[in-house]
């Protein structure tokens, strides 16, 4: 259920005067926000802010300096001001986007109604559109496993980056024309804690996403097989078939994937390691007798190394794009940041060694589409905004 809040920040934040005008704008905050469902802005967030006027049924509460501040003006640190400004810009952007989307929907409906009234609506075109919508609803059919079994191999910072990448992954799936079913397996440790800490465990409400404590081995180990009786397990032919439907995606594989199939399940290693653990997922796949393959990057993009290591969300977004276009080249170009195509070319001292070339994972492109944000915390920046929103809610919002 969605709780609605409205606040007016009249030049004060945390009871502290704020010197920039943006924050003094009226902002509305929608809680329930399942904020991790609203993560990636589809356009820059520095859109001009349109002031919002309260409608009749909406009460606007003014915020005055807090009593503890005793009327004394505290000076906000530069960092706190930046943080607050960012949170405010993000809110404004979100409101604007929602309003725009609503307006577009209304317009579409109006045009359709007009056409229908004029007898211009083609029945078959309408049926086609409905079929397309149905197709979208049912998605591609394939499953993608995010293997979270590497929690203890990452630093806290890397865990944070990973959680951001998971959020980007979810967000991309949510907006995709042909989404996958996402299955996050082996959820544990600090990754679980970090996800839980954000917006009261909003990740649990992500659509089309399952969270398993178990490993993906559950795919081929029937419930009986993990219990006391070995005999209750599936036949070896069943096991083989189930195991064969899994493909571990890993940059270190010698095999290249040619196409994605709806009846196959693709595993992505959910880890950020700057390729410190070379062959980690390849070795895991081999040990479990799971097929493995890398994306056919070198085959389609001559300026990139064949074994370029990408981030979790980049790999996933490339897959989504391929499903939509059936074109690897287009998929790579639309997801891998442009400058990376140049990075793949010869450096000053001649051709890079393959070692160098593969060590690109975990770099500044965690959120491939949010190139303006630096550092491998690109996603974390956005999660940071989430946390600021929570703080804002706690500190200032009066529920109505």
Catalytic residues: 273
Distance in Å, CB of 303 to ligand SAH, minimum: 15
Q: Choose, by CB under 6 A, the member of 250, 265, 313, 385 that binds ligand SAH.
A: 250
Give the contact letters, 203-242, x = binds to ligand SAH (CB under 6 A), - = no. Answer: ----------------------------------------
DSSP three-state, residue 317: helix
Distance in Å, CB of 146 to ligand SAH, minimum: 9
Does 305 engage in binding with ligand SAH (CB under 6 A)? no
Distances (CA, A) of 382 to 158, 328, 388: 15, 29, 10
The span from the CA of 120 to the CA of 111, in Å, is 11
Burial status of residue 293 (CB atoms within 10 A of its CB: 0-12, 13-18, 19 or more): middle
Stretch that binds ligand SAH, among 50-58, 305-313, 372-380, 389-397 (CB under 6 A): 305-313
Give the contact letters, 255-274, x = binds to ligand SAH (CB under 6 A), - = no. Answer: -------------xx-x-x-
Q: Are 180 and 111 in contact (CB under 8 A)?
A: no
Does 277 engage in binding with ligand SAH (CB under 6 A)? yes
Does 163 engage in binding with ligand SAH (CB under 6 A)? no
Please, which residues have CB within 8 angstroms of residue 123's CB and are 6 or more apart in sequence? none
Does 185 engage in binding with ligand SAH (CB under 6 A)? no
Count interface residues toward ligand SAH (CB under 6 A): 22
Q: HSE of 304 in the Cβ direction (CA atoms, 13 Å)? A: 25
Stretch that binds ligand SAH, among 48-56, 277-285, 366-374, 379-387 (CB under 6 A): 277-285
CA 130 to chain centre: 28
CB atoms within 10 A of CB 191: 24
Does 361 engage in binding with ligand SAH (CB under 6 A)? yes
Q: Choose, by CB under 6 A, the member of 171, 186, 281, 313 that binds ligand SAH.
A: 281
CB nearer ligand SAH, residue 159 or residue 310: 310
The span from the CA of 248 to the CA of 153, in Å, is 19
Q: Are 372 and 29 in contact (CB under 8 A)?
A: no
CB nearer ligand SAH, residue 18 or residue 315: 315
Does 280 engage in binding with ligand SAH (CB under 6 A)? yes
Number of helices (H) and strands (E) in the chain: give both, helices first. Answer: 13, 11
Q: Choose, by CB under 6 A, the member of 28, 174, 192, 308 that binds ligand SAH.
A: 308
Distance in Å, CB of 361 to ligand SAH, minimum: 4
Does 335 engage in binding with ligand SAH (CB under 6 A)? no
First to last CA, the chain: 14
Q: Cα-Cα-Cα-Cα dihedral of 215, 182, 211, 280, to 10°?
A: 40
Please, which residues have CB within 8 angstroms of residue 263's CB and are 6 or more apart in sequence? 141, 142, 245
Distance in Å, CB of 305 to ligand SAH, minimum: 9
Q: HSE of 278 in the Cβ direction (CA atoms, 13 Å)? A: 9
Distance in Å, CB of 392 to ligand SAH, minimum: 33
The span from the CA of 85 to the CA of 77, in Å, is 12
Does 297 engage in binding with ligand SAH (CB under 6 A)? yes
CB nearer ligand SAH, residue 41 or residue 296: 296
Judged by the rule CB under 6 A, the positions of this chain that interact with ligand SAH are 249-251, 268-269, 271, 273, 275, 277-281, 294-295, 297, 308-310, 312, 315, 361
């Amino acid at each position: 259920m969605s709780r609605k809040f409205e606040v007016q920040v009249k030049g004060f934040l945390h009871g502290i005067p704020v010197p920039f005008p943006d924050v003094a704008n009226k902002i509305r905050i929608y809680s329930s926000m399942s904020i991790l469902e609203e993560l990636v802005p589809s356009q820059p967030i520095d859109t001009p802010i349109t002031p919002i006027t309260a409608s009749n049924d909406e009460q606007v509460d003014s915020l005055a300096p807090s009593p503890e501040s005793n009327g004394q003006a505290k000076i906000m640190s530069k960092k706190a001001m930046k943080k607050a400004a960012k949170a405010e810009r993000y809110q404004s952007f979100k409101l604007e986007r929602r309003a725009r989307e609503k307006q577009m929907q209304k317009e579409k409906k109006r045009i359709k109604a007009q056409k229908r009234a004029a007898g211009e609506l083609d029945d078959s075109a309408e049926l086609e559109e409905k079929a397309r919508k149905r197709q979208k609803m049912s998605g591609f059919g394939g499953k993608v496993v995010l293997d979270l079994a590497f929690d203890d191999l990452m630093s806290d910072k890397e865990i944070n980056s990973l959680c951001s990448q998971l959020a980007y992954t979810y967000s991309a799936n949510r907006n995709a024309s042909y989404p996958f079913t996402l299955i996050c397996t082996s959820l544990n440790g600090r990754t679980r804690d970090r996800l839980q800490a954000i917006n009261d465990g909003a990740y649990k409400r992500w659509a089309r996403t399952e969270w398993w404590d178990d490993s993906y081995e559950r795919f081929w180990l029937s419930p009986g097989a993990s219990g006391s009786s070995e005999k209750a397990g599936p036949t070896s032919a069943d096991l083989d078939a189930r195991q064969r439907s899994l493909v571990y995606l890993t940059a270190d594989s010698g095999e290249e994937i040619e196409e994605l199939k709806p009846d196959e399940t693709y595993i992505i290693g959910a880890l950020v390691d700057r390729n410190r653990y070379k062959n980690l997922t390849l070795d895991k796949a081999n040990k479990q007798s799971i097929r493995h393959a890398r994306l056919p990057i070198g085959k389609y993009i001559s300026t990139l190394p064949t074994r370029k290591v990408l981030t979790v969300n980049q790999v996933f977004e490339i897959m989504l794009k391929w499903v939509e276009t059936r074109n690897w080249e287009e998929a790579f170009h639309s997801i891998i940041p442009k400058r990376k195509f140049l990075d793949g070319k010869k450096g000053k001292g001649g051709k890079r060694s393959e070692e160098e070339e593969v060590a690109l994972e975990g770099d500044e492109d965690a959120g491939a589409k949010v190139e303006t944000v630096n550092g491998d915390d690109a996603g974390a920046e956005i999660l940071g905004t989430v946390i600021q929103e929570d703080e804002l809610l706690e500190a200032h919002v009066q529920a109505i």
